[in-house]
Structure 1
Amino acid sequence: MRIFLLVAVLWGGVVLGGWAAAGDKWPGVDETVVEKIAREQGRRAHAPLINTDQGDLLLFAFLAAGAVGGFAAGYWWRMLVTEKGNGSKRGEP
């Protein structure tokens, strides 16, 4: 019974989430807050220095960050998982 209830709640969240996701109905913080305050202060919007909306630049940035993080975690795996800070192993008293 609990599994059925869990599945029903999750499925209801998916269905209702699809209905709630209207295109331009909910503007983001940039449009509602940041741009409004910038207009009040006499500033205008300009293009970003690194435009990640074009092509796969944002995907490449996440790939590079994941590779660096994976390399660091793999390099220091033993220290992260098995060794404690004082130099002893977990199984030792």
Structure 2
Amino acid sequence: MTFLKRGLLASVFLLLLFSPVLAEEEAPKWPGVDETVVGKYAKELGREARDPYINTDQGDLLLFLFALAGTAGGFIIGYYWHKVFVAGKKDLEPRD
């Protein structure tokens, strides 16, 4: 490789390496719909924001709830799998 190719490759590597850092500094904070639209109308109607009953922002509670829902869904699908996909197949005639 020539010196020019090595320099170009090194500069592309450094640009890719530091681009997330540069992008994070320049990116402005965009508030969500809840904060801008819903919060605005709630304040106009006299309803202030309050903490949720179950705060899923603490620790791994949200991850635990998703895992629990996936486990429950897996058991339900596993229980009905035989009824839906296997039990009725014996009565059908094979296709040619």
- Same fold per TM (> 0.5)? yes
Q: Aligned residue for 2:89?
A: 89
Q: Aligned residue for 2:37?
A: 33
Q: Which amino acid aligns with 1:40?
A: E
* Gaps in structure 1 of 5+ consecutive residues: 1-17
The alignment status of 1:55 with 2:59, answered yes or no, reads yes
Equivalent residue in structure 1 for 2:84, among 74, 80, 84? 80
For the pair shown, which has the larger CA radius of gyration, 1 or 2?
2
Which aligned runs of 4 or more in structure 1 are off by greater than 6 angstroms?
Answer: none
How many residues align? The count is: 70
Distance in 1 of aligned mates of 2:32 and 2:84: 39
Distance in 2 of aligned mates of 1:33 and 1:90: 56
Distance in 1 of aligned mates of 2:63 and 2:28: 23
Cα distance change, pair 53–78 in 1 and its aligned pair in 2 (3 A): same
> Once the two structures are aligned, what percentage of the paired residues are identical?
55
RMSD of aligned Cα (Å): 2.4
- How high is the TM-score relative to the length of structure 2? 0.62
Distance in 2 of aligned mates of 1:90 and 1:52: 47
Distance in 1 of aligned mates of 2:49 and 2:43: 9
Distance in 2 of aligned mates of 1:49 and 1:57: 13
Q: Aligned residue for 2:49?
A: 45
1:8-66 CA distance string (max 9 Å, x none)? xxxxxxxxxx76xx351x22110111100111101111111000000111111000000
